[in-house]
Structure 1
Amino acid sequence: MPTLNDQAEQHIGGTKGLHNHVHDLIHDPSTRLDALWRYDQCIANAEKGEADNSKQFWQILKAQEIKNVDGLKELIRKRVQNKSL
């Protein structure tokens, strides 16, 4: 016999405003932009820390993430132009 909790949760996720792949295209850039902000903080913290390679490491990750964000922006731009978003 289902519990009240089971009944309350049976419809979770049943409503989708977008297809999953479209949701991913919209949601993922936000996560990556937050990461860019954090990389700036990591770089600033490394500048205050000991002289190791951590600043360079964070700069490399930030550069890679910028490329990822640019790629997502281009993909979204194309999908919007093709009206396939």
Structure 2
Amino acid sequence: MSPEVFVDIFKHALWLVLILVCACIIPSLIIGLIVSVFQAATSINEQTLSFLPRLIITILALMFGAHWGFRMLMEFFYSMIEQIPSVVG
């Protein structure tokens, strides 16, 4: 295997991981920011107030994005399997 092929595969894998993680983290980040602004405006210092909405949004993002994420992972896996003969041989 040439280094260029390995770097290309590694770059594709890291990009896939980045996209899948961002699909779950970004909605949670946005909700956390909204709740933090609300807490600052009302002077509420309750820690569980920011935790529960982020947890719910993260679970909902996983529920609605799981099919898309697994499809992307399966496409990546199939492309890796298809590349085995050209990389090894």
Task: Sort the TM-score into its range (normalised by shorter chain).
Answer: 0.3 to 0.5
Structure showing the higher helix proportion among its residues: 2
Query: Higher relative contact order at CA 8 Å, sep ≥6: structure 1 or structure 2?
Result: 2
